Chain A
Amino acid sequence: MNLSHIRLVLLILTLSLGICLTANAQDSELKFKLKPGASGKLCLDCHDAFKEKLAKSSVHTPLKKGDCIGCHNPHSSDHGKLLAADMTNICATCHKSMVPAGAKSVHKVVAEGTCTKCHDPHSTNSKFNLLKGGNELCFECHKGMGETIGKAKFKHLPVTKGCLTCHDPHASGKADFLLKDSVPALCIGCHKTDRPNFIKSHMGYPVAGSRCTGCHDPHGSDRGGILYNNVHKPVVSKMCNQCHEAANSTTPLKTKKAGYELCRVCHSTQVNSMFAKNRVHWPILDKEGCLSCHNPHASKQKGLIKADLITTCGRCHQDTIRRQEKSMTKHEPIKDGKCTSCHDPHASDNAFLFNQANVIDLCGTCHDWQKHSTHPIGEKTRDPRNKNVSVQCLSCHRAHGTEYKHFIPFPTTSDLCVQCHEQFKR
């Protein structure tokens, strides 16, 4: 076969393909007796404003092709805006691979199918039809994060470049928080751990395999080295060997003692006073010890607490947190995550690790009306339901809430009162 024959064959193949494609479009139009351009271009005759949309720099492919019926049904629909499918599913009919199989984290909006929170389905002037460009879009929802990043004295360069430097906006198959890779692998991509500066600033400890975010705030902070704002004193003074074995030892990252015994070396007064109490909070006594609730190096929270108290306490006391969430009336200290307003997180002589022995005194620290309440309460007022307990605030209320109003354990106030005042029972 000579060259002219090959050219001829190729020409025939190309023409055949073209004819097939045109025929297909014509077939649809003929089949449904559609007017020319009725799959989309015709729509623009009425939907005038779309001419403006088409002029934008990023136009959704179906719209660009004039294929409005790719998403809309021109006659009728069970869904708003004559969409061909439910708003939360329609994008996935074409964009199927946004979430990798076995994803470790998925952006809430992606999971919910609310793609339009970030993308305009027709067109925008930002890449990928995004409603806004850069971090500005992310900060619409992650407002607090935006403020924190804006205020941080020491910035992390990738954050200023854009959230998408480290995060995948849809889902991550590798890590939590939509991170493109797990920590430290993600960090090590930029921060070379064998550089002298890196080694020196980590006091020669082999931290390449450690979780960088245990000490550093990847979104920036007010401390040099973007350490979290609250730093443990030995870390500030670079005295790692106060807790860890020497950097040149065979087990440099091992701590010198385990559990609370390590913390006791410096915090002996506090630990000893805890152990003088009748009840010690059990996590202090387990393998993790103080680190059940505290970070050993640095933290965003005061007192080096791992996270806000609702999260930290809620890790074990899920039932109590759940009760508050379901409660019709919210108890402010709990709502605000101030568990320590009533409880001592370390130890106490009192039930529920209460700060005070007397429940009325404890509640009275905020509710001073309680002290001049007309209902008899106090040690001398015995509970008619059980003479072994006195009447106090918790005789009628559950401080973490109930499914009823005012933290009472009964549907109505009268249901509660007749528990004791039986003569008024109807």
Chain B
Amino acid sequence: MITGTIRLNLVLALLMIPVQSFSAQTTTLKLVQPVLTDAKEGMLKSPQGVACNKEGLFIVGDTGNGRLLTYTFKDDAVKGGGEVKLPQMIYPQRLQLNSKGEIFVLDGKLRRILRLSQQGAFIGFLDPQGLPGGTAPVPKSFKIDEQDNIYILDTYSERVIVLDPAGKYLKEVPFPSPHGFFTDLAVNAEGSIYLVDGTNSTVFVAEKKAMAFVPLTKSMKADMDFPGYITTDSRGNIYLVDQNGGGIIALGPDGSFRTRMLSMGWKPGLLYYPGQICLNNKGALFVADRDNNRVQIFEMAK
């Protein structure tokens, strides 16, 4: 015999189903902890880069100090902070890890990509082989996909160059026209390439086999000041870093606006001119909080 109260609860529970499935799309960020120092308690200075992997490793491009710092983040605890300093690396701005754990570093001053071993030893510069026309790229940013292919945002020749893991030219996709200034690119698990136009706050996409970019979004100037970084998660959601507005914007795979997270400031949990971000498979978000001289780790609560 079902009593009136139980019946009411069942009806309410049924009514809650659509609400719960909607809330699954809404992401909020919870601060786990800020990372302020290296292993020797030395302060971070203008860190612009951060890369992470599923083993819990995260590496910080401590740009102002011209070095990398390697940490692990496991069970909500940060350990490590060992320094990697190399004569070949002056101004590490953006970092990526490939599936073998090799570290790729874009040096903003040299405008070249360095390839380092898992331990941080210098292997060599990534000099693309077989580029048509022979014009060397001027990389503004780069990304590595799950197959270790490398995607370079070549500002000088207005194109995205795709290289195989050994650095051999595979293809290129020209920048769309008209455009403003492209600050970053991203690649999702399906191989679609995204470009973010910082001046116009627009995202473009080129599907895996496409040879041209098409607009994915309209201008989102009302929602952000200057998107400086773009990345995707395993579900294809897109995340933009609003560098000048101190926030992170989440878009759906179709480019639809989902939410704006975090805000500008100095206190823990706030951002001041953030640079690169990295999402790992355990729902941790690492943010290079450049002008706060720290990296902040957030948990993506769903």
Interface residues of A (CB under 8 A from B): 259, 277-280, 282-283, 285-287, 315-320, 323, 351, 383, 385-389, 395, 409, 419
Instruction: Given A319-B226, A351-B46, check contact A282 B266 (CB 8 Å).
Output: no
**A319-B225, A387-B36 as given contacts; A285 in contact with B90, CB under 8 Å:** no
CB contact between B267 and one of A280, A315, A385 (< 8 Å): that residue: A385
* Cβ of B66 to closest chain A Cβ, rounded Å: 9
What residues of chain B lie closer than 8 Å to A319, measured between beta carbons?
221, 225-226, 244-245
Cα(A323)–Cα(B245), bound, Å? 11
Determine if B90 and A409 form an interchain contact, defined as CB atoms under 8 angstroms apart: no
Known: A279-B108, A351-B46, A383-B266. A286 touches B199 (CB 8 A): no
Complex contacts, B266 vs chain A, CB 8 Å: 383, 385-386, 389, 395, 419
Contacts of B158 in A (CB 8 A): 286-287
Can you offer 17 A-B residue contacts whose CB atoms are under 8 A?
Answer: A277-B109, A278-B91, A279-B109, A282-B181, A283-B181, A286-B158, A315-B199, A318-B199, A319-B244, A323-B225, A385-B266, A386-B293, A386-B294, A388-B44, A389-B266, A395-B266, A419-B267
B156 contacts A287, CB within 8 Å?
yes
Question: Smallest CB–CB gap between A408 and chain B, Å?
Answer: 13
Q: What residues of chain A lie closer than 8 Å to B292, measured between beta carbons?
A: 386, 388-389
- Given A286-B155, A409-B264, is A389 in contact with B181 using a C-beta cutoff of 8 Å? no
Cβ A282 vs Cβ B155 within 8 A:
yes
B91 near A386: Cβ-Cβ < 8 Å: no
Residues B115-149 near A (CB distance < 8 A): 138, 140
In the complex, B180 has a CB within 8 A of chain A: yes
Partner of A316, one of B36, B156, B181, B245: B181
Distance in angstroms from B246 CB to nearest chain A CB is 10
Chain B, residue nearest A260 (CB): B156
Q: CB-CB contacts of B247-268 with A at 8 A, as 1s and 0s?
A: 0000000000000000011111
By beta carbon, the residue of chain B nearest A387 is B36
Q: Decide if B43 touches A388 in the complex (CB within 8 Å).
A: yes
Interface-central residue, A287, A386, A395, by most chain B CB under 10 Å: A386
11 additional A-B pairs beyond A388-B292, A388-B293, A389-B266, beta carbons within 8 Å, are A278-B90, A279-B108, A282-B181, A285-B138, A285-B156, A286-B158, A316-B199, A319-B244, A351-B273, A351-B290, A395-B266
Is the CB–CB distance between A351 and B291 below 8 Å? Answer: yes
CA of A395 to CA of B272 in the docked complex: distance in angstroms?
11
A325–B156 CA distance with the chains assembled, in angstroms: 32
Residues of B bordering A, CB below 8 Å: 34, 36, 43-44, 46, 90-91, 108-109, 111, 138, 140, 155-158, 180-181, 198-199, 221, 225-226, 244-245, 264-268, 273, 290-294
Do A286 and B156 contact each other (CB < 8 Å), given the known contacts A316-B199, A386-B292? yes
CA distance A17 to B149 in the complex (A): 85
**What residue in chain A is nearest B155 (Cβ atoms)?**
A286
| A287 CB contacts on chain B under 8 angstroms | 155-158
Contacts of B138 in A (CB 8 A): 285-286
What is the bound-complex CA distance between A287 and B109, given in angstroms? 18
Please name the residue on chain A nearest to B135 by beta carbon. Answer: A258
Shortest beta-carbon distance, A221 to chain B, in Å? 31
In angstroms, Cα B265 to Cα A278, docked, is 26
- Which residues on the B side are within 8 Å of A383 (C-beta)? 266
Q: Identify the closest chain B residue to A385 (Cβ).
A: B266
Q: How far is the CA of A323 from the CA of B266 in the complex (A)?
A: 20
A122 to chain B, nearest CB (A): 45
Taking each of B43, B44, B266, B291, which has the highest tally of chain A beta carbons within 10 Å of its own beta carbon? B266
Q: Identify which of A285, A319, A351, A385 gathers the most chain B CB atoms within 10 Å of its CB.
A: A319
With both beta carbons as reference points, the residue of chain B lying nearest to A398 in the complex is identified as B264
Given A319-B225, A351-B291, are A282 and B156 neighbors across the interface (CB < 8 Å)? no
Of all chain A residues, the one with the shortest Cβ separation from B45 is: A388
Provide the bound-state CA to CA distance between A113 and B267, in Å: 51
Chain B neighbourhood of A419, CB < 8 A: 266-267
Of A317, A318, A389, which contacts B293 at CB under 8 A? A389
Closest chain B residue to A277, Cβ basis: B109
User: How far does the Cβ of A417 sit from chain B's closest Cβ, in whole Å?
Assistant: 14
In the complex, chain B residues whose CB is within 8 Å of the CB of A395? 266
A315 CA to B198 CA, complexed, in Å: 11
| Whole-angstrom CA separation of A357 from B157 in the bound complex | 32
Given A287-B156, A383-B266, A320 contacting B36 (CB threshold 8 A): no
Chain A: minimal CB distance from B207 (Å): 25
Q: Top 4 closest A-B pairs, CB basis? A: A388-B293, A319-B225, A385-B266, A386-B266
**A316: which B residues are within 8 A, CB to CB?**
180-181, 198-199
B156 CB contacts on chain A under 8 angstroms: 259, 285-287
CB-defined contacts of B294 to chain A, threshold 8 Å: 386, 388
Q: How far is A53 from B46 in the complex, measured between Cα atoms in Å?
A: 72
The CA-CA distance from A96 to B125 in the complex, in Å, is: 66
A149–chain B nearest beta-carbon distance, Å: 33
Smallest CB separation, A2 vs chain B (Å): 72
- Chain A residues near B273: list those with CB within 8 A: 351
Given A386-B267, A387-B36; A320-B244 close (CB under 8 Å): yes
The docked-state distance in angstroms from the alpha carbon of A277 to that of B90 is 11
- From residue B118, how far is it (CB to closest CB) to chain A in Å? 27
Which residues on the B side are within 8 Å of A323 (C-beta)?
A: 225
Residues of B within 8 A of A409 (CB): 264-265
Given contacts A287-B158, A315-B199, A387-B36, contact A278 B111 (CB under 8 A): no
Name the residue of chain B whose CB is nearest to the CB of A286. B155
Contact at A282–B140, with CB atoms within 8 Å? yes
